[in-house]
Amino acid sequence: MNEYYLIVNFKKKKIITDLEELVQNDYEAYKLKFEFDKEFERALFKLKYPTDNKIWVQEINNNELILPVLESPGIYKYEISIYSENGRLTDYAIKDFNVRSELVNTDDVVETDDRVPILDNLINETNQLVRETTELKEDVTEAIEETNNLDINVNKTGKEATIKLTKKDNTVKTETLSDGTSLMFHWDGTKLGIKTDEDEEYTYVDLLGRTGSTPNIQIGTVTSGNTPSVTRTGTNENPVFNFVLEKGETGATGATGEPGPKGDPGETPDMSNYYNKTEIDSIVGDISSVIDTINGEVI
């Protein structure tokens, strides 16, 4: 039984295979083996015959499939579709192959040992790409580990550059992309140093800004309200903050306090200008006598 490999790339809707042309054969079937670039729940292989719009559908199990006997010559189109767990179509790829009726004259076929199937070529190219990627990763990792500082120097026109690498062993490697005068930059805290190839030392400019003034913060009004807030008035140097505080609930009544200390005795009042009891009794008696006299006259 002849076997053919199909690498299905759903991302590009592309099928890579050596299944390009078959010879009409009414007694031998062909086995197809698949490799997919994504996972799926179910895969179907739909084969459309060149005549009568006949369609043959078969589920792909274990990444293998046996083609039916191809009875008619012509162009056979096939579609590989994959479905999710709920039966929804998630992706597909389409390709075709030719079936010819005449048999190949074996006398005209030249056998050679250097014929490599498409799948083998693809595997070799992939392995080579993996090796190159691994080597590149190792080179980059080594460069990062060996480099302690990286200065990129660009000249005034911006068309030429010099790259200077300072390694851990303090060795310096400089690569100039093109001839010309380059500007080199160096940071020292807040100071930026600039020099050209012809200068021996950097010229530094301190880019630290001036120290701001200390504000004199003051508390303005403090009032109660339903929504707490803070507003600022005044100036940047003398800001005034006004507060609105939410009034709390009335607290519980406190316990009765202890009795206070006994007060000092008061001063004795001056009673010289007041009647004493004897004088008051005499006056009351006189008033009573007058009232009795008046009553007797009325009677």
Between CA 169 and CA 181 the distance in angstroms is: 27
For the chain, strand residue ranges (E) read 2-9, 14-17, 21-23, 30-36, 42-48, 55-59, 64-67, 74-83, 89-100, 147-154, 161-167, 172-176, 183-188, 191-196, 203-206, 218-225, 229-234, 239-246
Q: What is the mean pLDDT of the chain?
A: 76
CB–CB of 25/70 below 8 Å? yes
Beta bridge partners of 78: 47, 95
CB–CB of 174/164 below 8 Å? yes
A 10 A CB-CB count for 246 gives: 10
Task: Express each pLDDT in 269-280 by its tens digit.
Answer: 777 777 778 878
Average pLDDT over every residue of 279-299: 75
CATH of domain 2-103: 2.60.40.3350
Q: Which two tokens stand for residue 11?
A: 């991302």
pLDDT attached to residue 6: 86
Task: Express each pLDDT in 61-73 by its tens digit.
Answer: 999 988 887 777 8
In the sheet that holds 21-23, the strands lie side by side as 21-23, 89-100, 74-83, 42-48, 55-59
pLDDT attached to residue 162: 61
Between CA 83 and CA 238 the distance in angstroms is: 71
pLDDT attached to residue 73: 84
Q: Which two tokens stand for residue 96?
A: 């075709």
Which of 102-111, 210-219, 288-297 holds the top average pLDDT? 210-219
pLDDT above 70 (res 153):
no
pLDDT attached to residue 190: 83
Task: Express each pLDDT in 215-237 by its tens digit.
Answer: 888 999 989 888 888 898 988 88
Task: Express each pLDDT in 159-209 by its tens digit.
Answer: 556 666 565 556 666 666 555 566 788 888 888 888 887 788 888 888 777
DSSP 153-205: EE-TTSS-EEEEEEETT--EEEEESSSS--EEEEEETTEEEEEETT-SSPEEE
pLDDT above 50 (res 110):
no
Nearest Cα to Cα of residue 16 among 36, 45, 31, 2: 36
Distances (CA, A) of 9 to 16, 50, 82, 95, 169: 8, 25, 12, 12, 49
pLDDT attached to residue 176: 61
Residue 65's SS3 state is: strand
Q: Domain residues of the chain, as ranges?
A: 2-103, 147-206, 217-247
pLDDT attached to residue 137: 67
